[in-house]
């Protein structure tokens, strides 16, 4: 742990200075930052150092660089974590199975743990019920035609969690969904045979949330992950 502190102390000063500059000037996401040349003068370092600091902040989504235009304050999303976790997932052929299992386990945990909050707020009408219904309809329709419905699936989960008012939880759900779907095709796991069951389970989740029935919601969540977890278990036993 002393090692952690030591490495944190050694961290590049320039990036911290730029972060401090964002704070002192009270810049908000989307605001324009000084040019690299200006930062060189302001901070008294070379352009290379500024560029590397910018690179660091850009990978953390603290700033967003637009070629030929300028650098802006970023949205501070969880995309960096997604990238790191996806890479960890593909790092070893065996490890990817394990990594996916862990991601799914955490996804289920988050969905179940925040169920009360989701149901409460959704029941109170703080969710965009129409949009959620439309997403469910689209998923069912696509499932009938044997198509996948990745975008609708992700949108459904994030929209549902948006009602909780907990942006961190909402971003986490989206991030783990991204990791999940990025790692899946790397394994040779067949699509869950019953994609239709997955689609309708989303509808059951929504209905339960709108009705304020926490237990029904939790059952729907479990059912929703059912096909996937069976695929995972089958694949795991095959090795």
Partner DNA sequence: ATGGATTTGTCCGTATGTATG
Partner DNA sequence: CCATACATACGGACAAATCCA
**Taking contact as CB under 7 A, which single stretch among the options 5-13, 125-133, 160-168, 206-214 is the one that binds DNA?**
5-13
Residues 37-66, one symbol each (x = binds DNA by CB under 7 A, - = not), give x--x---xxxxxx-xx-x----------xx
- Number of Cβ within a 10 Å radius of residue 68: 4
Please pick, from the candidates 32, 37, 113, 124, the single residue that binds a copy of itself as defined by CB under 8 A: 113
Q: Which of a copy of itself, DNA, none has residue 46 at its interface (CB below 5 to 8 Å by kind)?
A: DNA
Please pick, from the candidates 32, 44, 55, 124, the single residue that binds a copy of itself as defined by CB under 8 A: 55
Q: How far is 82 from 68, CA to CA, in rounded Å? A: 27
Q: By CB under 8 A, tell whether 137 contacts a copy of itself.
A: no
Binding positions for a copy of itself, 142-181, rule CB under 8 A: 151, 154-155, 166-169, 172
Q: Please, are residues 149 and 194 in contact by the beta-carbon 8 Å criterion?
A: no
Please pick, from the candidates 19, 133, 196, 219, the single residue that binds a copy of itself as defined by CB under 8 A: 19
Report in angstroms how near the CB of residue 97 gets to a copy of itself at its nearest. 13
For residue 166, the SS3 value is coil
Q: By CB under 8 A, tell whether 232 contacts a copy of itself.
A: no
Q: By CB under 8 A, tell whether 43 contacts a copy of itself.
A: no
32 or 211: whose CB is closer to DNA?
32
Q: By CB under 8 A, tell whether 59 contacts a copy of itself.
A: yes
Q: Which of DNA, a copy of itself, none has residue 70 at its interface (CB below 5 to 8 Å by kind)?
A: DNA
Q: How far is 21 from 16, CA to CA, in rounded Å? A: 8
Angle between helices 93-113 and 115-123 (to 10 degrees): 50
Q: How many CA atoms lie within 13 A of 184 on its CB side?
A: 16
> Which residues of this protein are in contact with DNA, per CB under 7 A?
7, 10, 12-14, 33, 35-37, 40, 44-49, 51-52, 54, 65-71
């Amino acid at each position: 742990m002393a090692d952690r502190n030591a490495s944190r102390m050694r961290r590049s000063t320039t990036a911290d200075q730029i972060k401090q500059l964002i704070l002192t000037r009270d810049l908000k996401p989307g605001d324009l930052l000084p040019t690299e040349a200006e930062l060189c003068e302001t901070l008294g370092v070379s352009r290379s150092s500024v560029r590397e600091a910018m690179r660091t902040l850009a990978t953390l989504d603290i700033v967003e660089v637009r070629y030929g235009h300028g650098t802006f304050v970023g949205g501070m999303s969880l995309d960096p974590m997604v990238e790191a976790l996806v890479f960890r997932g593909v790092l070893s052929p065996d490890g990817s199975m394990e990594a996916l299992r862990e991601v799914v386990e955490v996804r289920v945990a988050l969905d179940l743990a925040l169920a009360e909050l989701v149901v409460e707020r959704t029941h109170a009408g703080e969710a965009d019920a129409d949009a959620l219904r439309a997403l469910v309809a689209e998923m069912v329709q696509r499932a009938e035609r044997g198509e996948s419905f990745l975008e609708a699936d992700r949108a459904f989960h994030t929209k549902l969690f948006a009602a909780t008012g907990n942006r961190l939880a909402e971003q986490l759900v989206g991030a783990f969904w991204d990791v999940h779907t990025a790692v899946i095709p790397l394994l040779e796991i067949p699509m869950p045979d019953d994609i239709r069951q997955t689609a309708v389970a989303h509808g059951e989740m929504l209905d339960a949330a709108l009705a304020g029935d926490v237990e029904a919601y939790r059952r729907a969540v479990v059912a929703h992950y059912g096909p996937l977890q069976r695929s995972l278990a089958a694949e795991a036993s095959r090795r």
